[in-house]
Amino acid sequence: MDELVKRVNAEPYLLESLRAVQASGLPDAWIGAGVIRDVVWGQLHGGFEPQLVRDVDVAYFDAGDLREERDKIAEARLAELLDRPWEAVNQAAVHTWFAQWYGEPPVPPLTGIHEAVGTAPETATSVALRLVGEDILVCAPLGLDDLLDGVWRHNPTCVGLDRSLARLRRHRIAERWPRVTVIRPG
């Protein structure tokens, strides 16, 4: 965890994002997934490029408000605080839309952020960060090895093989990060 925290502290873009999430007041809110991978793998390949960040994923847990518009309200609050391409998702509500949105089998309600982070599509994106005071907390239910070692590996917990391979193509892993080891699913 120390290595990841060191890498995060070296990236103002991510630190500013963590501070905005902390100030947002969103319940149990964490930054996770692709932006953390982009930071670490960018650093492993000569430098992180914030302009290439597609979105800053914010996972939060609000079991008291499962409305679809709750995520848009959260994104608007984050945008008030900091200009970023935010994507906020209430993990308590994922079961209400997952099957229809992705065409995958239904999922049971998640019990908290740690369980939700463990369902990210790849092991290297099954990591989330949160700022508490000035301390960076790390949630990594599948560990940090694949993220820190530059390994792309399918996490079959929630994502089917076809969607995983589509993500591999969409993210252009070999082009963006040529030293990343891709372990093909299946």
pLDDT confidence of residue 106: 82
Q: Is the dihedral of CA 161, 165, 168, 170 positive or negative?
A: negative
Q: Look at 6-10, 68-72, 144-148, 180-184 and tell me which has the smallest mean pLDDT.
A: 180-184
The pLDDT of 72-96, averaged and rounded, is 97
Each residue of 76-86: pLDDT tens digit? 999 999 999 99
Contact indicator for 168, 139 with CB cutoff of 8 Å: no
The pLDDT of 157-168, averaged and rounded, is 80
Q: Look at 84-93, 100-109, 175-184 and tell me which has the smallest mean pLDDT.
A: 100-109
CA–CA gap between residue 4 and residue 11 (Å, rounded): 11
DSSP per residue over 75-91, as a string? HHHHHHH--S-EEEEEG
pLDDT above 90: residue 104:
no
pLDDT confidence of residue 78: 98
Per-residue pLDDT band for 124 (boundaries 50, 70, 90) equals very high
Tokens of 60: 């939060």
pLDDT confidence of residue 101: 79
Contact indicator for 173, 140 with CB cutoff of 8 Å: no
pLDDT above 90: residue 7:
yes
The pLDDT of 103-119, averaged and rounded, is 90
pLDDT above 90: residue 99:
no
Q: Is the dihedral of CA 21, 24, 29, 32 positive or negative?
A: negative
143 vs 162: which has the higher pLDDT: 143
Query: How many degrees, rounded to 5, is the angle at CA 20 between CA 16 and CA 24?
Result: 175
pLDDT confidence of residue 186: 61
Q: Which amino acid is at 167?
A: R
- 111: DSSP letter: -
